[in-house]
Amino acid sequence: NKIDSVIHLAGSLIIGEGEKYPKLYYKNNVLGTKSILSACQNTLVKNFIFSSTAAVYKDKQNTVHEKSKIKPKSVYGKTKAEAEKLIISYCNKSEINYAILRYFNVCGASSSGRIGLISNTDSLFKNISLSLMKKKPTITIYGNNYNTPDGTSIRDYIHVSDLADIHYKILKKIFTTNSSMIVNCGYYRGISVRAVVNEFKRQSKKKIQILYKNKRPGDL
C-alpha cells in the first residue's frame, strides 16, 4: 500500500487514571508515538496528524491560543507534550508535514447514534447519558468551589463530528500547502459542568441528583 499520510489517534486519555499509572501512560503515549514514528522511516509517508490535548497548557489560564505557555499539570498532559516534541523533531528531520491537534473536551456521537464514546472514557456527557437510563439518575461533579459563577469548572467542548471534519480539512491543508501546524480544537466558548447537567435535565425532563466531591488530582 502506498500510504502517504498517518493519523495517530492511539493513546491513554483519562486524567485520573494517568495519575495512578504514570508508567503505563508514558509507555502508551510517549513510547507508542516513538514506535509509530519509527514505522514511518523509509516509507512514502509525507503527512502526520497527531491527536493531542489542551491539557498540555499551563493551568489557570482563562483562555489559550496555540502559543500559550506549555506546562502540563497532569501525567496525561505531560506525556502528550512529550509526544508532541518527538513528532516535531522527527518530522522536521524527515521533511514530513505534521499537524498537532490539541483537542478540548470531545463529546457526542455519530449522527446515526450507533457510534459513541468508548466505555472506559471518563466523559461528563457519557456519564450523564448513562445515568439518565436509570430510574434514579445520579451524577457526580468533582469540585464546586472553583472561581466561577456556579462554582463548577468551566470547559470548552467540541462535538466529535466537527473534530472528524477538522482532521479531514487539516490533512488536505498540510498536503496541498506542504506545511506544518499546531491547532486548538474547540469552540472558544466555555460551559460550566453544572450548566451541562442542567441542560440534560431540561432536555430529558428528568430529575438528576447531583453529588459533589473534591477536585480530582490533575484536573485543570
Which residues participate in catalysis according to the annotation? Answer: 76
Residues 6 or more apart whose Cβ sits within 8 Å of residue 106: 123, 157, 158, 159, 160, 163
Side-chain-facing half-sphere of 78: CA atoms under 13 Å:
13
Q: CA-CA distance, 75 to 217, in Å (whole number)?
A: 10
Between the alpha carbon of residue 177 and those of residues 7, 89, 97, 98, 193, the distances in Å are 18, 20, 9, 12, 39
Cα–Cα distance for residue pair 74/79, rounded to 1 Å: 9
* Alpha carbon distance 139, 211 (integer Å): 6
Contact (CB, 8 A) for 83 and 75: no
Is-contact 98 182, C-beta < 8 A? Answer: no
